[in-house]
């Protein structure tokens, strides 16, 4: 795991900081676990743009990831660590003892040939999935379920991890990467370890063209728009001051967007740090 700074041979490499990908063991994905992706370019079925700043990008295929780890109490061997263009962390190809292949999120430290398992027989070791009620307190976890059997929904980005701090009745108290502390049912499952590719945040694309390869079109600053296009547009010269607003006119920078009537509010013990 690491990054490299490229020599300024061209303007595009002058500020480029790239991933070394030294953890990866193969460059060819498993064909049985690939699904094609259809791009919309931000357009709906009438061809009208409904999402701005989307379009282009390199052609890619989706890797079917097993977020549920529902094949319980069956050991699996790690066959390879691979790159996934659809997410920031790396993925691991595992093969169960019955020959079934599957992709999982690769935690940091997972090696080829290592054995992973999920279910009640699993031990709290890297790559194993088990219920929160069966984990020792203080465990570092990722790919956490919000409802039993739903599959992991949170803590799935590169280098992220949460911590199991305590238990309260049928709930487990989890400290999330954002700093938020919340309760999750102890019957929900999670995977042990910190996710791979922790240096992803240190990368620098180096040029605008690399964003185009990722399917991101140029984004126009609100202050550079006309008044008809944005509340912050218009004015003589560079207009400063005034309340920062969204395109629809709602407030920014401190404006709360979470619904006060959301059912999961009662499960949040401490909000994320501002």
pTM listed for this prediction: 0.93
Please give the CATH number for the structural domain made up of 3-200+266-270: 2.40.50.140
Q: Which pLDDT does position 147 carry in this prediction?
A: 96
Sign of the alpha-carbon dihedral angle for 207, 209, 214, 217: positive
Q: CA dist 156 to 60, 93, 245, Å?
A: 20, 17, 31
Task: Report the C-alpha gap between 169 and 167 in whole angstroms.
Answer: 6
Q: List Cβ neighbours of 39 (8 Å cut-off, separation of 6 or more).
A: 57, 215
Q: What is the DSSP string of 171-210?
A: EEEEE-TTS-EEEEETTSEEEES-BS-GGGGG-B--SHHH
Task: Report the C-alpha gap between 60 and 38 in whole angstroms.
Answer: 9
pLDDT in tens, the chain (274 residues): 689 999 999 999 999 999 999 999 999 999 999 999 999 999 999 999 999 999 999 999 999 999 999 999 999 999 999 999 999 999 999 999 999 999 999 999 999 999 999 999 899 999 999 999 999 999 999 999 999 999 999 999 999 999 999 999 999 999 999 999 999 999 999 999 999 999 999 999 999 999 999 999 999 999 999 999 999 999 998 888 888 999 999 888 888 888 999 999 999 999 987 7
Task: Report the C-alpha gap between 73 and 116 in whole angstroms.
Answer: 10
């Amino acid at each position: 795991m690491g990054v490299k700074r490229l020599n300024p041979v061209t303007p595009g490499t002058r500020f480029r900081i790239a991933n070394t990908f030294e953890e990866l063991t193969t460059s060819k994905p498993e064909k049985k676990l690939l699904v094609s992706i259809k791009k919309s370019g931000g357009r709906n079925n009438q061809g009208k743009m409904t999402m701005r700043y989307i379009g282009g990008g390199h052609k890619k295929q989706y890797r079917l990831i097993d977020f549920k780890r529902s094949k319980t109490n069956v050991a699996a061997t790690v066959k390879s660590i691979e790159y996934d263009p659809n997410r920031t962390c790396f993925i691991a190809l595992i093969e169960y003892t019955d020959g079934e292949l599957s992709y999982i999120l690769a935690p940091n430290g997972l090696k080829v040939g290592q054995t992973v398992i999920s279910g009640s027989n699993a031990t709290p070791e890297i790559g194993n999935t088990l219920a929160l009620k069966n984990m020792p307190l203080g465990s570092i976890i990722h790919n956490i379920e919000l409802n039993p059997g739903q599959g992991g929904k949170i803590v799935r980005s590169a280098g992220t991890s949460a911590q199991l701090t305590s238990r309260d009745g049928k709930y487990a108290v989890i400290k999330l990467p954002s700093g938020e502390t919340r309760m999750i049912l102890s019957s929900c499952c999670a995977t042990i370890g910190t996710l791979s590719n922790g240096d992803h945040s240190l990368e620098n694309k180096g040029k605008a063209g690399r964003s185009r390869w990722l399917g991101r079109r140029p984004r126009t600053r609100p202050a550079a728009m006309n008044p008809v296009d944005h509340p912050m547009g218009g004015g003589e010269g560079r207009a400063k001051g005034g309340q920062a607003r969204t395109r629809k006119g709602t407030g920014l920078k401190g404006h709360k967007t979470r619904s006060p009537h959301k059912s999961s509010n009662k499960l949040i013990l401490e909000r994320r740090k501002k």
